[in-house]
């Protein structure tokens, strides 16, 4: 049995689940946001040293110890019944119970257990591990020191970009903002002293022929080239994707780069990862970051690379990573 943890409207999960069911797999899709109001979870330790974990919903009880694979896709946190007092407390208790249960399962978990995903998502940690594996990195500074930032800016003649250390969504004065890689402007330099309040990643700008998205699924590698330089919207960060003007095509990675991508995902403890590289005009592959749970349908739909099928095959294999 395969359990998929995700929220409603997840097209990635929908496509893979359809593939799994067509292949005859027993698949259950569950969003922890429906716990505890519409589902039950249970962890039982008996006096003889055995343990059982149960999931109940709509009159059906499942023994989670019988799972062959868990896809930790994009679940939401538990939501308490609105009639309950101290909802924040209740939701935190439910979250800790649910995550403790998922983390304790011994089956294949894609892309990895929650603690593994959390650690793998830390950009400074990724960069250090990628460096050790032999990837070329942009000149990079992670700092809260305005003077260090200004020295870096001058050393690279102002051709630098900044990106967040971790999150790319922030809320201020009731408004939500997206924070992506962006070139440093003279206005930014004037406010450099604000770095004392929050760290930032600063990198020397790397010239691009194309950007490469490498999706690793188990031991399979799928690479696509994103022609981000043909559109001003995507010149610095392809996530400002302009579907009408940004071609995406399959890409042949050199064997040594492909192997480094496999090694990085394995060293991070993951069974899946979406890696961003730059292919420079002189043919060098430069590492930017890895998203442990990155989206893949946009690559699959643009190139025909069978990434979703590979995810389904990995889940059905049940091979622990």
* pLDDT tens digits, 63-104: 999 999 999 999 999 999 999 999 999 999 999 999 999 999
The residues, any chain, with a CB within 8 Å of residue 222's CB and separated by 6 or more, are 214, 215, 216, 299, 305, 306, 307, 310
25-33: average pLDDT: 96
All domains of the chain in start order, with CATH: 2-110 (3.40.50), 119-123+207-308 (3.30.470.20), 139-204 (3.30.1490.20)
Q: What is the predicted pLDDT for the residue at 61?
A: 93
Q: What is the predicted pLDDT for the residue at 231?
A: 54
> In degrees rounded to 5, what are phi and psi of residue 302?
-80, -30
Confidence of residue 321 (pLDDT cuts 50, 70, 90): low
Q: Which residue has better confidence, 167 or 219? A: 219
Give SS3 for 16.
helix
With residues binned 3-state (H G I as helix, E B as strand, rest as coil), the percentages for the chain, rounded to 5, are 35, 30, 35
The region of weakest confidence among 25-39, 42-56, 173-187, 211-225 is: 173-187
Confidence of residue 167 (pLDDT cuts 50, 70, 90): low
Q: What is the predicted pLDDT for the residue at 227?
A: 87
CA dihedral defined by 283, 288, 293, 299, rounded to 10 degrees?
-30
Burial class (CB in 10 A: 0-12, 13-18, 19+), 183: middle
The residues, any chain, with a CB within 8 Å of residue 70's CB and separated by 6 or more, are 2, 3, 4, 5, 102, 105, 107, 108, 109, 110
The region of weakest confidence among 151-160, 231-240, 269-278 is: 231-240
In the predicted structure, residue 35 carries a pLDDT above the cut 70: yes
Give me 148's structure tokens: 């260090």
293-317: average pLDDT: 96
Q: CA-to-CA distance for 72 and 120, rounded, in angstroms?
A: 14
Contacts by 20-23, CB closer than 8 A, 24 or more apart:
20/312, 20/315, 20/316, 23/312, 23/316
In the predicted structure, residue 51 carries a pLDDT above the cut 80: yes
Task: Give 78's DSSP letter.
Answer: P
The region of weakest confidence among 49-53, 104-108, 134-138, 232-236 is: 232-236
Q: What is the predicted pLDDT for the residue at 112?
A: 96
Q: CA-to-CA distance for 103 and 49, rounded, in angstroms?
A: 19
Q: CA-to-CA distance for 188 and 272, rounded, in angstroms?
A: 36
**Helices and strands in the chain: count of H runs, count of E runs:** 9, 18
Q: By the 8 A CB rule, do 4 and 67 touch?
A: no
How confident is the model over 234-254, as pLDDT tens digits?
555 555 555 556 789 999 999
Give me 264's structure tokens: 């990085």
Confidence of residue 171 (pLDDT cuts 50, 70, 90): low
Q: CA-to-CA distance for 112 and 118, rounded, in angstroms?
A: 10
In the predicted structure, residue 3 carries a pLDDT above the cut 80: yes
CB atoms within 10 A of CB 123: 17
Q: What is the predicted pLDDT for the residue at 319?
A: 86
CA distances to 184, 222, 225 from 13, rounded to whole Å, are 37, 19, 24
CA distances to 117, 148, 222, 309 from 306, rounded to whole Å, are 23, 45, 8, 5
Which candidate, 102, 152, 130, places its Cα nearest to that of 122? 130
For the chain, the first-to-last Cα distance in angstroms comes to 17
Residue that the structure tokens 């909802």 belong to: 87
């Amino acid at each position: 049995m395969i359990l998929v943890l995700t929220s409603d409207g997840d097209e990635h999960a929908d496509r893979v689940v359809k593939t799994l069911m067509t292949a005859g797999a027993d698949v259950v899709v569950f969003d922890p946001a429906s716990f505890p109001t519409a589902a039950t979870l249970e962890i039982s330790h008996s006096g003889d040293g055995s343990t059982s974990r149960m999931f109940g919903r709509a009159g059906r009880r499942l023994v989670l110890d019988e799972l062959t694979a868990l896809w930790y896709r994009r679940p939401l946190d538990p939501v308490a019944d609105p009639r309950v007092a101290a909802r924040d407390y209740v939701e935190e208790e439910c979250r800790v119970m649910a995550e403790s249960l998922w983390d304790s399962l011994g089956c294949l978990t894609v892309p990895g257990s929650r603690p593994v995903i959390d650690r793998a998502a830390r950009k400074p940690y990724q960069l250090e591990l990628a460096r050790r594996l032999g990837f070329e990195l942009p000149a990079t500074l992670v700092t809260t020191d305005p003077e260090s930032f200004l020295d870096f800016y001058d050393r690279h003649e102002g051709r630098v970009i900044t990106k967040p250390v971790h999150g790319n969504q922030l809320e201020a004065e009731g408004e939500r903002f997206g924070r992506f890689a962006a070139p440093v402007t003279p206005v930014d330099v004037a406010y450099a002293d604000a770095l004392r309040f929050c760290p930032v990643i600063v990198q020397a700008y790397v010239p691009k022929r194309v950007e490469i998205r490498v999706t690793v699924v188990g031991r399979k590698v799928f690479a696509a080239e994103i022609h981000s330089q043909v559109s001003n919207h995507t010149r610095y960060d392809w996530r400002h994707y302009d579907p009408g003007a940004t071609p995406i095509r399959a890409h042949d990675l050199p064997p040594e780069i492909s192997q480094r991508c496999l090694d990085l995902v394995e060293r991070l403890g993951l069974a899946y990862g979406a890696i961003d590289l730059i292919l420079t005009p002189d043919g060098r592959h430069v590492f930017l970051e890895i998203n442990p749970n990155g989206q893949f349908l946009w690559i699959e739909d643009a190139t025909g690379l069978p990434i979703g099928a590979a995810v389904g095959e990995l889940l059905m294999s049940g091979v622990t990573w």
